[in-house]
Chains A and B, each alone.
Chain A
Amino acid sequence: MQTRIVGPVARTLRAAGFLAVLSALIWPVQAGAIALAIDGWVGSGAGGLSVPAAAATVLIGGAIRAWLDFRAGGLAFDAADRTIARERDVLLRREARARSGDGSAAIAALIVQKLPMLHPWITRYYVAMVRVSVVPLVLLIVVFSISWIVGLVLLAAGPLIPIFMALIGIAAEKASRRQLAEIGTMNGMLMERLSALLDIRLLGASDRVTRDFERRADALRNQTMAVLRIAFLSSTVLELAAAIGVAMVAVFVGFTLLGEITYGTWGVPLTLGQGIFLLLLAPDYFNPLRDLAAAWHDRAAGLSVVAELEEADRADRIAFVGNGVPGQPLDGPIRVRVSGATVDLSGRVLALPDFDVSAGEAVALRGPSGAGKSTTLAAILGLVPLSAGQIDVCGRRLDADTADDWRSRLSVVPQKPHFADRSLRDYLTPRPDADVSIADALTLAQACPIVDRLPDGLETRLSESGGGVSGGEARRLMIARAVRMDGDLLLADEPTADLDPQTAAMVIDALKGLKAAGKTMLIATHDPALIAAMDRVVTVSPQNMDGETGA
């Protein structure tokens, strides 16, 4: 689990850790200078350091430490940045390609909001680990060489920290996971409600929805506080252990200097300088341990993110055929042949009808709702992979190599209107190299008045479902877009389903015009008027796959 994240950047992190250790080891030198200078004030020391020399040591040492920490931070940042870039790349290249059951807002939250939670884990935890394995040990040796009893105090207080930290680590990770899950839920829930806000308002449901959201927002606050509470409590206990350790050192040194304690210093009396040196070292003995404990929570959060990433890796996905790149149009006349094809729709196997479409033909795909008309079209478009059988297009098998080239010969009218977040002009420019002008396409689809009526015309951004235009108007815009795609084969899924008879007649006229212009057509519909305008009917039945009849 950790190797996935840390493996590729382990070298960089080791280098960062090395610099951080160097920096920490300069402190004893500075502390020694300060101790000797103060010792000199009292006048007890033999050959104390002059105060200017001590001040210079403090200053130079401080500057070197600051620089080392600066470099170490830079290396750690690099490691974290590379990791986030890598994971984001994987997610971005996968989630739109192969959909899982997760909502788009939850995935966006994972990519944008949760991935950066790996950052503190990578930058802090590993550096803290390296420091903890070197610095306390070195300081302990130094302290023992002066006073074994102070060494024992530190030795006793130190290991408490990692033990305690491991205990709370488990609780912290659980809490982090719940918090992450809640972030996903809140995003998903909110996205859906926001998209349907007009309906919600008109149904008088604003208050109910707001209350639901309030509960979600509150649940997220609670989960976040649960994570923080563990973090705060643990860091308090650790700080306490460190503070008590330092206080004990201070008191012990004080009593020794007063002469009330006479043991623990290898038989020689403790000088004031040594006492101050011990006092200055004590906090830095605990610091790496405290940092590690704090980073332990970053680790818990990071591991929770990794768990979500791995869950996303394992999710059932529906891929599509091809790569979603612009293709070189397949050669030859249009021809579609579906033979023995079945599609696996998450457990439910659907058999597609066997049929042919040749260039210049207009074929209606008929059948009751749920029989698989839309799935048949999706399979021909390469939007769902086949589990058996095959589809041939222009005499070649439809597979990953041909799918993009095949699609570049198609025009498509999907079943439901969907407008991405871009202007109508961009919506009506599905491919960069269209031969048909926007004006011509709008005219053919009888959609000119719709655009004229919109205050911003072609610069309008419609809402996702096409709020701002009626269903019939949205349908005509979709047909205009299909015209602009300028394919040789037009596939349409119930193009008149959302329309009243009058508008439907307009759409059928537009389709007839395209047919007259030489386009081949395959249209899923159960509209008798549209079926009558086609040359031939293929029936899709829910049970099996045959039944080709003339119209």
Chain B
Amino acid sequence: MTALLRILRLLIVASPWSMARGAMLAVLVLLMGAALLGLSGWFITATGLAGLAGIGIAFDVFRPSAGVRLLALGRAAARYGERLLTHDATLRALAALRVDLLKRVARRDGRQLQNLRGEAALTRIVADVDALDGVILRLFLPVLAAVVTHAVAFAALWWLAGAPVALSVLVGYVPAGLIILIALGWRSLSPSRTAEDEAQRLRRGVIDLIRDREASILTGSLAAGEEALLQTDRTARAAIRRLDVQERRAGLILAVAGSVALALALLAGDWVLSRGSVDAASAAIGVFVALALGEAFIPLRRGVTEIGRIIPAAERVLSEAEPAPVPSKEGRCEDATVLSLRVGDKHLSLNTGQAAVLTGASGIGKTTLLLRIAGLSTLSDARISILGRDPSHWAEADLRDAVTMVPQRSVLIAGTVRDNLALTGITDERAMWAALDAVALAETIRHRDGLDTLLGEGGSGLSGGETRRMALARAVLRRPKLLLLDEPTEGLDTETAAKVLAGIRAALPDTAILAALHRDVAHPLFGARVSLEL
């Protein structure tokens, strides 16, 4: 419930002025609707009375009939304005929320990013955010409008037609309406949650099955995978069916409550009339207003059944950690030493154009240390300074400009080779070709469609070694001061590996390079060697 309120605040705060105007108009729509029918009913009854009394000429027809027309026009206009304002404000807030979520996910630390499963993050950003649009549009605003309208209508009826009529309309609608809606919300919590959970499971499952297609065929488990997804679909639809029954049942009871209110208004009108406190025209107002107020509670059903789906989605969205605060630019001034590293009793310092190897057996922490240098981890207790400053004291953008790291497993994106290289922010074709040349990939790419060579999902279409070199080419394009390479030669035969390392050095003569290798590489590139045997 707190999650719901926090999301509500978040959405309102995004554009409070639009929301406030939208809420005002939403109330106005219902009030004008009630007033329109009330006034029309009064008008006709009053003219009927006047006609009978033979005082038709004296009756002021113009103000009421103008009022009827004004209300008719005003209601339609208010409805249009309300819908446009609230939908636009909500969609804007949700789009901003999606972008914000992506930012937060992108700011996770290195390990988490490495293990991130795309389909899980996707459902968060797409489906969970979609689930939140009902908070304002189908829950908050309709509740607000219904409550205010009933309050105003109660006061107005008391004044115009007397307490019995006002009370009968209120008693006919409000207690029954509240009880039904609260019961509906309560009973739909579980199916609503199930429906959303299963829909998200289905989305992730479809993506997973399609991407894992070949393996499923080979093990004969494709049919079973499809059957599992169909089962998920059945569970989801069964939950939606339960929701639908609940919602229609609530609709049925609300409609009967509306009839009760109408019948009560009729009886109350008769009673006040018999006591002579008001005339027939005023008594009739109650009947017509009761008729009009039916539309206040009905739209609430949809929103109420969504609560079970909204709350978990809101909790998941809010649980995405706040991005780390941007570090202040403190620390010593620029230092000539690009990288200074102290791990235990070992020390390494790299100047421009120097290169060093980080060795040690698998699992000893080479990757963690590199991630720490790249500012994506706080795990290592190493003392690090890049150009005289600890990585955690750098602003993100400055650190990325100074340091580039090629992780062990690089992932390419669907699109062209150009799209992949352009992720670096460099779009110059000559620079791209030079980088591809440096990693001995230019020939291969040229033989296909050049920079327009299309890659499939996840960069499929390139072999493992080609993928690796593409990732290295991107690093070359960045022209960093410090280049961190995690097992750069993995996936490359000895000859290509030597060519690639030499090519990178030739392309980046001034860059300090630190490469983690779990075996000794006797490459002339590397002057120093830090062994991480702990």
Interface of B is mostly: helix
Task: State whether A202 and B255 are in contact (beta carbons under 8 Å apart), knowing that A58-B266, A244-B72, A404-B220 are contacts in the complex.
Answer: no
Q: For the A-B complex with A202-B406, A485-B218 known, give 15 more contacts whose Cβ atoms are closer than 8 Å.
A: A38-B269, A107-B210, A109-B203, A112-B127, A191-B118, A191-B207, A194-B121, A202-B374, A202-B376, A221-B95, A250-B44, A272-B45, A324-B217, A467-B115, A500-B490
Q: Which of B185-193, B221-229, B312-320 has 4 or more CB atoms under 8 Å from chain A?
A: B221-229
Q: Which residues of B contact A485 (CB under 8 A)?
A: 218-219
Task: State whether A190 and B122 are in contact (beta carbons under 8 Å apart), knowing that A42-B280, A254-B43, A497-B491 are contacts in the complex.
Answer: yes
Q: Does the CB pair A201–B362 fall under 8 Å?
A: no
Q: Which residues of B contact A191 (CB under 8 A)?
A: 118-119, 122, 207
**A156 to B33 CA separation, bound complex (whole angstroms):** 23
Q: Is B465 an interface residue (CB 8 A)?
A: yes
Q: Does the CB pair A204–B478 fall under 8 Å?
A: yes
Task: State whether A202 and B118 are in contact (beta carbons under 8 Å apart), knowing that A236-B77, A254-B65, A258-B56 are contacts in the complex.
Answer: no
Q: Which residues of B contact A113 (CB under 8 A)?
A: 126-127, 130, 203
Q: Is B347 an interface residue (CB 8 A)?
A: no
Task: State whether A324 and B102 are in contact (beta carbons under 8 Å apart), knowing that A81-B237, A243-B75, A420-B211 are contacts in the complex.
Answer: no
- Give the Cβ gap from B66 to chain A, nearest Cβ, in Å: 9
Q: Does the CB pair B266–A194 fall under 8 Å?
A: no
| Residue of chain A at shortest CB distance from B211 | A104
Task: State whether A272 and B220 are in contact (beta carbons under 8 Å apart), knowing that A92-B226, A188-B414, A470-B490 are contacts in the complex.
Answer: no
Contact-residue size bin, chain B (C-beta under 8 Å from the other chain) = 35 or more
- Give the Cβ gap from B517 to chain A, nearest Cβ, in Å: 8
- Give the Cβ gap from A264 to chain B, nearest Cβ, in Å: 15
Q: Does the CB pair A62–B259 fall under 8 Å?
A: yes
Contact for A324 among B76, B220, B252, B400, CB less than 8 A: B220
Q: Is A312 an interface residue (CB 8 A)?
A: no
Q: Does the CB pair B213–A96 fall under 8 Å?
A: yes
- Give the Cβ gap from B329 to chain A, nearest Cβ, in Å: 17
A401-419 interface code vs B (CB 8 A; 1 in, 0 out) = 0001001101010111010
Contact for A37 among B214, B266, B447, CB less than 8 A: B266
| Residue of chain A at shortest CB distance from B202 | A112
Q: Does the CB pair A202–B229 fall under 8 Å?
A: no
Q: Which residues of A contact B119 (CB under 8 A)?
A: 105, 108, 191, 421
Q: Is B401 an interface residue (CB 8 A)?
A: yes
| Residue of chain A at shortest CB distance from B83 | A232
Minimum-distance CB pairs A-B, first 8: A62-B259, A324-B222, A204-B400, A272-B48, A243-B72, A66-B255, A195-B118, A258-B56
Q: Which residues of B contact A85 (CB under 8 A)?
A: 233-234, 237
Q: Which residues of A contact B41 (CB under 8 A)?
A: 276, 279
Q: Does the CB pair B237–A251 fall under 8 Å?
A: no
List 23 A-B pairs, Cβ < 8 Å. Answer: A38-B280, A42-B45, A58-B259, A61-B259, A73-B248, A89-B233, A95-B210, A104-B211, A111-B202, A113-B126, A194-B118, A202-B407, A203-B478, A205-B425, A213-B98, A217-B99, A259-B56, A430-B221, A468-B114, A471-B464, A471-B468, A471-B491, A501-B494
Q: Which residues of A contact B253 (CB under 8 A)?
A: 66
Q: Is A16 an interface residue (CB 8 A)?
A: no
Task: State whether A205 and B208 are in contact (beta carbons under 8 Å apart), knowing that A77-B244, A96-B225 are contacts in the complex.
Answer: no
Q: Does the CB pair B262–A62 fall under 8 Å?
A: yes
Q: Is A443 an interface residue (CB 8 A)?
A: no
Q: Does the CB pair B206–A327 fall under 8 Å?
A: no
Q: Is B91 an interface residue (CB 8 A)?
A: yes
**A203 to B478 CA separation, bound complex (whole angstroms):** 7
Task: State whether A326 and B267 are in contact (beta carbons under 8 Å apart), knowing that A74-B245, A208-B425 are contacts in the complex.
Answer: no
**A383 to B213 CA separation, bound complex (whole angstroms):** 10
**A69 to B252 CA separation, bound complex (whole angstroms):** 8
Task: State whether A466 and B458 are in contact (beta carbons under 8 Å apart), knowing that A96-B225, A210-B99 are contacts in the complex.
Answer: no
Q: Which residues of A contact B216 (CB under 8 A)?
A: 96, 324
Q: Does the CB pair A229–B84 fall under 8 Å?
A: yes
> In chain B between 2 and 26, which residues have their CB closer than 8 angstroms to a CB of chain A?
none
- Give the Cβ gap from B175 to chain A, nearest Cβ, in Å: 17
Q: Which of B105-113, B151-159, B351-359, B379-387 has 4 or more CB atoms under 8 Å from chain A?
A: B105-113
Q: Is B209 an interface residue (CB 8 A)?
A: yes
Q: Which residues of A contact B122 (CB under 8 A)?
A: 105, 187, 190-191, 194
Q: Which residues of A contact B69 (CB under 8 A)?
A: 244, 247, 251
**A37 to B270 CA separation, bound complex (whole angstroms):** 9
Q: Does the CB pair A257–B47 fall under 8 Å?
A: yes
Contact for B287 among A38, A186, A246, A467, CB less than 8 A: A38
Q: Does the CB pair B258–A62 fall under 8 Å?
A: yes
**How many A residues, CB 8 Å from partner?**
154
Q: Does the CB pair A257–B68 fall under 8 Å?
A: no
Q: Which residues of B contact A188 (CB under 8 A)?
A: 414
| Residue of chain A at shortest CB distance from B490 | A471
Q: Which residues of A contact B91 (CB under 8 A)?
A: 221, 224-225
| Residue of chain B at shortest CB distance from A269 | B51
- Give the Cβ gap from A279 to chain B, nearest Cβ, in Å: 6
- Give the Cβ gap from B33 to chain A, nearest Cβ, in Å: 9
Q: Is B412 an interface residue (CB 8 A)?
A: yes
Q: Does the CB pair A206–B106 fall under 8 Å?
A: yes
Q: Does the CB pair B217–A320 fall under 8 Å?
A: yes
Q: Is B493 an interface residue (CB 8 A)?
A: yes
Task: State whether A410 and B218 are in contact (beta carbons under 8 Å apart), knowing that A194-B118, A236-B80 are contacts in the complex.
Answer: yes
Q: Is B241 an interface residue (CB 8 A)?
A: yes
Q: Is B212 an interface residue (CB 8 A)?
A: yes
Q: Which residues of B contact A497 (CB under 8 A)?
A: 463-465, 491
> In chain A between 355 and 406, which residues have their CB closer than 8 angstroms to a CB of chain B?
369-370, 381-383, 404
